């Protein structure tokens, strides 16, 4: 099996891989391979279907769980909602 050295990996990315590896009870190396394999599968499938690739549902859930509860903001919920709505890209009707 071949080896690969990854250079200039941002510390935030490595931290997220560490979190996922602990959650999935895998080594960092094995977790990295799982992420690469999943990404290749997603991108290959997207290319075959001629659409934009994106994370799988499982990866989306893991990423959301990773950031859940970490949001810090001095604004009220109403101020945050107003700010989000004000900064949306115009052109698409959205009902909330």
User: Block means of pLDDT (10 residues each) for the chain, length 96 residues?
Assistant: 87 92 93 91 78 75 86 89 84 67
Q: In sequence order, what are the residues at sequence separation of 6 or more whose Cβ sits closer than 8 angstroms to the Cβ of residue 7? A: none
Q: In sequence order, what are the residues at sequence separation of 6 or more whose Cβ sits closer than 8 angstroms to the Cβ of residue 59? A: 35, 38
Question: Which pLDDT score is estimated for 15?
Answer: 93
Question: Which pLDDT score is estimated for 37?
Answer: 92
Question: Which pLDDT score is estimated for 84?
Answer: 87
Question: Which pLDDT score is estimated for 19?
Answer: 93
CA atoms within 13 A on the CB side of 44: 6
* CA dihedral for 19, 24, 22, 38, sign (positive or negative): negative
Rounded Cα distance between 51 and 8, Å, is 29
Question: Which pLDDT score is estimated for 94?
Answer: 64
Question: Which pLDDT score is estimated for 43?
Answer: 80
Question: Which pLDDT score is estimated for 22?
Answer: 93
pTM of the predicted model as reported, rounded to 2 decimal places: 0.50
């Amino acid at each position: 099996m071949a080896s690969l050295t990854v250079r200039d990996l941002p510390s935030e990315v490595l931290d997220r891989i560490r979190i996922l590896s602990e959650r999935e009870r895998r080594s960092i190396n094995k977790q990295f391979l799982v992420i690469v394999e999943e990404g290749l599968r997603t991108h290959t499938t997207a290319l075959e279907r001629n659409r934009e690739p994106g994370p799988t549902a499982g990866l989306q859930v893991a990423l959301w769980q990773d950031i859940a509860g970490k949001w810090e903001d001095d604004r009220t919920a109403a101020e945050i909602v107003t700010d989000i709505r004000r900064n949306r890209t115009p052109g698409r009707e959205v009902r909330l």
